Chain A
């Protein structure tokens, strides 16, 4: 199954002492792993095109795995941000947003410590690494040419 990802860590959904809110959030929003593949976080907002399923993302190494995690959590924030712009009074959504901010910062730290800066202000390196390849538009170069 496409979304049967046992690696997904639900722990940051936990809100101490408020399991009820947790359930509301899970019903309104899908988790970031599934949401990132679909392109939306709200459960009832997904409108698939014809019979297409989202294309599974298969990171081929540790670099891609850690980067995709950052991108997934960043995406969750982008989409929840738009929802909150229109629904700033939704406390449960804001709590979920705060949890994702924490998870994103953790994932970003794990990536940047090992593979270089994501923001130009990430500077815990011996040298200035901001300019280093790859830039987001680079790819590793394929071998299957038509």
Chain B
């Protein structure tokens, strides 16, 4: 089960409104390589992990990623909460405002809604863990693109931090993959 902890994983306090960055950033919430897909991918895959290491690792990374969803959604909220309708429209978010107001909706940066088809659950540990490793690398690449798009330190702090978490998660998944491979899976 889950219980809420009333703080983010890493401090987020964005002081400068930036609608354009919010539009790009939302993909790390609801896009194909985003945190919601990551969290639900590992959450769903954990049920077919064959031993204690796999169950623990997928469970614990899924939990951490749910916290990262909150970080991204918090950033989007803070970047847009004071935006005018004109500012949203000027950044191509008029349709987004029509559908969702100032709500934070999980979509990619084009506005495509989140879909479960972004990830697979095969029940095969090597197939699932290979996907997980690739997912972490893809998320790292997207974070680097986002870092290249801004010079606001209030954004760079959490983006650099989240990027490093992708590096760490990749390493843990790779350890697990190699461990299962050696066991003959």
Chain A 113-146, CB within 8 Å of chain B: the 1/0 string?
Answer: 0000111100000000010000111011111111
What is the size, in residues, of chain B's interface with A at 8 Å between Cβ atoms? 48
Contact A146 B17 (CB under 8 A): yes
Give the residues in chain A near B73, CB-CB below 8 Å: 137
Cβ 8 A contact of B6, one of A64, A136, A142: A136
By Cβ-Cβ distance, the 7 closest A-B pairs, closest first, are A142-B15, A39-B164, A55-B157, A137-B74, A85-B56, A39-B161, A85-B57
Partner among A55, A64, A145 whose Cβ is within 8 Å of the Cβ of B160? A55
Q: Are A118 and B11 in contact (CB under 8 A)?
A: no
Return chain B residues, CB-CB under 8 Å to A46.
164
Cβ of B77 to closest chain A Cβ, rounded Å: 5
Give the secondary structure class of B's interface: helix
Minimum CB–CB distance for A82 against chain B, Å: 5
A67 within 8 A of B: yes
By a CB distance below 8 angstroms, the chain A residues around B144 are 49
Chain A residues with CB under 8 A of B102: none
Interface: B131 (CB within 8 A):
no
Contact flag A82-B168 (CB < 8 Å), given A52-B147, A136-B74, A145-B17: yes
Interface string of B41-62 (1 = CB under 8 A from A): 0000000000011001100110
